[in-house]
Amino acid sequence: MKSPLIACAAVLLMLGATSAADAKGCIKGAVVGGVAGHYAGHHGVLGAAAGCLYGRHQAKEQEKQQQQQSQVNGQGKL
């Protein structure tokens, strides 16, 4: 009985410790990964974690690409 309560408390503490800025791409990836993981063998939590990591990676790559495009566009104008 204590194990599930301790696990829930740990999850809530971890969620409370994250900031909103770090969640860019994570929420969408976690939802998609959780659903995929659930249907792929009842591993929704594992899928959500992997989806969050992948979504965050994609968001960083997209942000980096946008920064490069803005630098190229900014240098081309006189």
Whole-model pTM?
Answer: 0.60
CA distance 25 to 55: 5
How far is CA 10 from its chain centroid? 19
pLDDT of amino acid 70: 84
- Stretch 33-43: mean pLDDT: 90
pLDDT over 70 (residue 47): yes
The 3-state DSSP composition of the chain as helix, strand, coil percent (nearest 5) reads: 85, 0, 15
- Stretch 36-62: mean pLDDT: 91
Q: Indicate the pLDDT class of residue 54, thresholds 50, 70 and 90.
A: very high
Q: For residue 37, give the amino acid letter.
A: G
